[in-house]
């Protein structure tokens, strides 16, 4: 047993599963109901996300890569020599390679990811192709405070790389907090290179998050499959519809799951009732203008030094400094 049965129930430490269950239940008891987007990313979800990145409607990955191909050299000049590059949520690091290829004598590359397996697989692959680069993987949840290896903490120029527009998935106050944490990590002489998706015609956005092949719908539904498997819930995967909706006042796409009928879902000894047509919100995807992002950055004590965009101004990669 994880916990001694003799311990009084009141002071018994929570198991990780109980903590997760309570967290999910708290979201399901809100009005409107919500579920954290972290539930998208099990093995199938990560595979589906990789597929999303290749979809014709999902312009984000393709456009950011185009910007990196065109401007990575200039970005590298701004970063300068001997930098330690710390990547938040390092995935397959395709974009990272474009940056690393251009940097002058980088001191170290520090991929930070919560998934130990992905982290070490990607770091291993990179180590083969960059034998002279010091690669220091850190397994951590980048939304929480974490320690960098001492020689990275002492590097003169520390740069956080955060591509993919993942900042858009955070509520504004959390996005600000994350920027503050990045600023603290890089220090007064540091920089942040960040991918930010830009506001555009809502019909383009809604299609990007509701593709004709139905991959994003499957990605959304998979969050329920993940909760069923990890926490023993009994969500009926066929009883929810995928919805992607543009919310103008918040300047964001929201992904929802809409209950097809009145139903009851069981989780951790609790019963959660859904009415027919009731929404469960699973994700925010904020879209910024160059101005609105610069305002957000300023609230975190960061100034925008450079903005690189594709010719159609769909996406941006921005260099921030304290």
* Interface residue list for ligand AVI (CB under 6 A): 52, 60, 164-166, 168-169, 209, 216, 283, 285
Q: In the complex, what is the shortest distance from the CB of residue 127 to ligand AVI, in angstroms, rounded to a whole number?
A: 25
Half-sphere exposure of 152 (CA within 13 A, CB side): 24
Q: In the complex, what is the shortest distance from the CB of residue 61 to ligand AVI, in angstroms, rounded to a whole number?
A: 9
Q: What angle do CA 72, 129, 146 make, to 5 degrees?
A: 70
Q: Which is nearer to ligand AVI, 162 or 321 (CB)?
A: 162
Residue 37 per-residue DSSP state: G
Query: Per the structure block, which two tokens stand in for 218?
Result: 């499957």
CA dihedral in degrees (247, 57, 165, 259; nearest 10)?
50
- The enclosing H or E element of 63 equals helix 59-79
Q: In the complex, what is the shortest distance from the CB of residue 180 to ligand AVI, in angstroms, rounded to a whole number?
A: 20
- Residue 299 and residue 297: Cα distance in Å, rounded? 5
Does residue 32 have a cis bond before it (omega within 30 degrees)?
yes
- Residue 160 and residue 136: Cα distance in Å, rounded? 14
Query: Per the structure block, which two tokens stand in for 129?
Result: 């192709």
Q: Which is nearer to ligand AVI, 90 or 216 (CB)?
A: 216
Q: In the complex, what is the shortest distance from the CB of residue 293 to ligand AVI, in angstroms, rounded to a whole number?
A: 15
Q: Which is nearer to ligand AVI, 67 or 107 (CB)?
A: 67
Q: Which is nearer to ligand AVI, 137 or 164 (CB)?
A: 164
Q: Which is nearer to ligand AVI, 106 or 164 (CB)?
A: 164
Q: In the complex, what is the shortest distance from the CB of residue 292 to ligand AVI, in angstroms, rounded to a whole number?
A: 17
Residue nearest ligand AVI (C-beta atom): 285
């Amino acid at each position: 047993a994880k916990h001694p049965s003799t311990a009084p129930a009141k002071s018994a430490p929570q198991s990780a599963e109980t903590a997760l269950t309570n967290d999910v239940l708290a979201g399901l008891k809100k009005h409107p109901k919500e579920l954290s987007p972290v539930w998208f990313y099990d093995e199938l979800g990560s595979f589906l996300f990789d597929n999303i990145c290749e979809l014709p409607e999902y312009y984000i990955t393709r456009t950011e890569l185009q910007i990196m191909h065109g401007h990575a050299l200039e970005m590298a000049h701004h970063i300068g020599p001997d930098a330690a590059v710390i990547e938040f949520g390092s995935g397959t690091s395709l974009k990272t390679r474009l940056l690393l290829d251009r940097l002058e004598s980088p001191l170290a590359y520090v991929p930070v990811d919560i998934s130990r397996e992905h982290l070490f697989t990607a770091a291993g692959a990179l180590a083969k192709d960059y034998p002279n680069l010091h690669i220091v993987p850190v397994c951590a949840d980048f939304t929480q405070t974490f320690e960098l290896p001492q020689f990275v903490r002492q590097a003169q120029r520390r740069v956080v790389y955060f591509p993919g527009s993942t900042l858009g998935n955070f509520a504004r106050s959390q996005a600000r907090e994350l920027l503050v944490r990045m600023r603290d990590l890089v220090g007064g002489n540091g920089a942040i290179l960040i991918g930010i998706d830009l506001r555009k015609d809502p019909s383009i956005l809604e299609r990007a998050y509701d593709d004709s092949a139905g991959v994003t719908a499957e990605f959304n539904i998979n969050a329920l499959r993940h909760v069923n498997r990890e926490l023993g819930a009994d969500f009926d995967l066929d009883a929810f519809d995928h919805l992607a909706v543009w919310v103008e006042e918040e300047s964001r796409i929201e992904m929802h799951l809409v209950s097809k009928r009145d139903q009851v879902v069981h989780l951790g000894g609790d019963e959660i009732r859904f009415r027919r047509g009731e929404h469960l919100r699973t994700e925010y995807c904020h879209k910024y203008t160059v101005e609105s992002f610069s305002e957000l950055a300023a609230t975190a004590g960061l100034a925008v030094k450079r903005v690189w965009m594709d010719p159609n101004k769909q996406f941006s990669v921005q260099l921030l400094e304290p």
